[in-house]
Amino acid sequence: MQTDREARQQIVQIVNELFQTGHLTATGGNVSALSGDGETLWITPTGLYKGTLSEEALVHIQPDGSVIQGSNAPSIEYPMHVRSYRSREGIHGAVHTHSPIATAFGICNQSFQPINTDAILLADTQIVPWLMPGSQELAEAMGLALEKSRGAIMQNHGLMAVGEDLRGAATRAMMIEETAKLSLYVRQFGGEVSLIPDPWVEEIAGYASFM
């Protein structure tokens, strides 16, 4: 179990990376990590510019959203984060990004074809229909989606990914965006699409739980 200091440091590092690579917008998206007690969360604040996030800006909250430590209000998406940690055992990090291509991918009701190995490993990515951001309805729908996959795309909104640590969650989110981008390129090129043969798809899919 990570300490509170480690959780805060990792959030700031991951937010910086996601912001610099365009997965988070100035105020859009949020990141959280399970605290040292294994019950409460450290989460990014609501409405704060993410390009210069500091540890001091983070908020330590109870599962009901009440603030334990921090002078800012927590992200309005805290219910979705809380529910995400309950979706499966061993989750210690969660990221909600506004990754533009993955978001468009979900809006258009696309699914990953076996165009490369990542697409096979992400084939279980769920699409969650539009629900109001910050609502309990969205939190519950996301929790159910994450019981089936460690990543889900929210239509007209963004994506959510969880991991055994925050690095794993961020990696999952990045993989979804990059694979959605490749899918877009494939459609733009047109022509005959070369897919990985079924026997290899089945073999590669067997490693999905390890990625």
70-88: pLDDT as tens digits: 999 999 999 999 999 999 9
Taking residue 144's Cβ as centre, other Cβ atoms within 10 Å add up to: 14
Mean pLDDT, residues 106-122: 96
Mean pLDDT, residues 15-40: 95
Mean pLDDT, residues 27-40: 95
Whether residue 104 is predicted with pLDDT greater than 90 in this model: the reply is yes
pLDDT score for 208 = 74
pLDDT score for 210 = 60
Residue 94: name the closest of 81, 103, 111, 106 by CA.
81
Whether residue 1 is predicted with pLDDT greater than 80 in this model: the reply is no
- The number of distinct structural domains making up the chain is 1
Residue 155: name the closest of 123, 137, 130 by CA.
130
CA atoms within 13 A on the CB side of 121: 17
Calculate the average pLDDT of the chain: 95
pLDDT score for 211 = 59
CATH code, domain carrying 73: 3.40.225.10
Mean pLDDT, residues 56-77: 97
Task: Please enumerate in sequence order all residues whose Cβ is within 8 A of that of 172, keeping only pairs 6 or more positions apart, or say none.
Answer: 150, 151, 161, 162, 163
- What is the per-residue pLDDT across 139-190, written as a single tens digit (0 to 9) for each? 999 999 999 999 999 999 999 999 999 999 999 999 999 999 999 999 999 8
Decide the pairing of beta strands 158-163 and 126-128.
unpaired
Residue 74 or 209, more confident: 74
pTM of the model: 0.95
Mean pLDDT, residues 89-108: 97
Domain that holds residue 77: 4-210
